[in-house]
Each structure stands twice: as C-alpha cells, then as structure tokens.
Chains A and B, each alone.
Chain A
Amino acid sequence: AQKVTQAQTEISVVEKEDVTLDCVYETRDTTYYLFWYKQPPSGELVFLIRRNSFDEQNEISGRYSWNFQKSTSSFNFTITASQVVDSAVYFCALSEKPGAGSYQLTFGKGTKLSVIP
C-alpha cells in the first residue's frame, strides 16, 4: 500500500526565516509522481509542484525549493525568507496507478505553517 508521512503537524516561524517541510513516502511502484499542494484558509488546494520518480534533480521556483531523494524516499519542501502569505496547510501527495490507469492521489496529513509577522 502507498503511504505518505508528514511528521510535522504544525510549524511556526517568524517572517523572513527559512522553513523546511518534510515528506516521506512509501510505494512499491517504480514509476510514480510526487506532488505538493498548498491549502490556504480559504480551503482550495493549490498545486505547487510535480516530480516524477525518474527525475531526482532539485527544483527551485522563486522562494520555493524541493529536494527529492529516492534513497531516503523523501521529497522535502523549503520556503526561503518566509512571508505571512505563506501561512497555510501544505500537503505532500503520491500518485497511485491501478490497472485502470487512474492516478489516484494519496495524501499525507498535512503540515500547518504559521508565519508570524
């Protein structure tokens, strides 16, 4: 069975600090996708990034960066110079691919990030 673990339930940082959100996954598939979504207080899940299992290059997008390490089954997310607008719940997710070809997402429980001004 596929599983995603986000061990940090809540994190608080002061504005401008860097913060890393951890994600560890379990899967028997050799081909899979990993995702990060942001859920602000309004409730809508916002897609941030997708990474496939064959691409271990780290990615940077503005203040966001992602570190994918297959050896440790981790896909961590770092926000540099955090801002109040970064306050949200962040979810890591793993795609499933049953025989029908459906990419069902398995989500972690999320990490609530609070950025204090």
Chain B
Amino acid sequence: DTGVSQDPRHKITKRGQNVTFRCDPISEHNRLYWYRQTLGQGPEFLTYFQNEAQLEKSRLLSDRFSAERPKGSFSTLEIQRTEQGDSAMYLCASSREDLTDTQYFGPGTRLTVL
C-alpha cells in the first residue's frame, strides 16, 4: 500500500496570507480526517469526510478554516487570513469504511506563520 501523502511538508507564511494544504489518502480508503497538532499536545480533530461528503465540521477552529474533498479522493484544507496561533502541524488520516475504522496518518504539513 502507498501510504497517506501530504503536500507541502513545510509551509512558512506571513500573517494574513491564505494557505492551502493537500492530502492524498490511501487509495481504497473512503474516509478522510484532518487533525491539528500543536507543540507538546496530541492531535486535535478538525473535520471528516466520507467520500465527498463532509459529515463533521463543527470542530473546525474558526470560519477561516475550510476543507474540501470534491471527488472523494484527495482533500484540501485552507486557512484564510492566517494568524500566528495557526502555527502547528496539520495531519491528515484515512481509513476504510468498516467497524474498526483504523486511521492511518500522513507525515503532516508543518505551518509556521510569521
């Protein structure tokens, strides 16, 4: 299996700029998750897709955050008008639609907002 991939691996931006991250899940996985991890903390759930449907987005941190998965394959996470507090690792995970739903994670995108 090819694992979950994320692009870019690192992003440095200035406050106020928009950024977009991409996640490519494992090919046969129809569920896709986004998490955020800040220093010294565990990952924090943001949003979830089953195929192209975004079934849970109430945990997105603000209306500056949005995510899409237009064709049920790759997904993008966009942060508009970035703030220094957005600096974190953004992790993507995918899973099969089965009872166990084990999530496999990508390498993450590390965002630094200056």
A-B contact count (CB 8 A): 65
Contact B42 A104 (CB under 8 A): no
- The smallest beta-carbon distance between B49 and chain A, in angstroms, is 9
Render A30-70 as a binary contact track against B, CB cut-off 8 A, 1 for contact. Answer: 00010101000011111100101000000000000000000
Q: How many residues on the B side are at the interface (Cβ–Cβ under 8 A)?
A: 28
CA A108 to CA B33, docked complex, whole Å = 18
CA A2 to CA B109, docked complex, whole Å = 27
Render B59-103 as a binary contact track against A, CB cut-off 8 A, 1 for contact. Answer: 100000000000000000000000000000101010100001111
Contact A42 B40 (CB under 8 A): no
* A107 with B108, Cβ < 8 A, contacts A33-B101, A43-B89, A47-B102 known: no
CA A35 to CA B103, docked complex, whole Å = 10
Inter-chain contacts of B31 with A (CB < 8 A): 102-103
Contact B56 A100 (CB under 8 A): yes
**B105 in contact (CB, < 8 A):** yes
Inter-chain contacts of B110 with A (CB < 8 A): 43
Contact B42 A100 (CB under 8 A): no
**A113 in contact (CB, < 8 A):** no
Closest Cβ neighbor of B48 among chain A residues = A102
Chain B CB within 10 Å, residue with most, of A33, A42, A103, A108: A103
In the complex, which residues 78-117 of chain A have their Cβ closer than 8 Å to any Cβ of chain B?
91, 93, 95, 98, 100-110
Mark B residues whose CB is within 8 Å of A.
31, 33, 35, 40-45, 48, 50, 55-56, 59, 89, 91, 93, 95, 100-108, 110
Mark A residues whose CB is within 8 Å of B.
4, 33, 35, 37, 42-47, 50, 52, 91, 93, 95, 98, 100-110
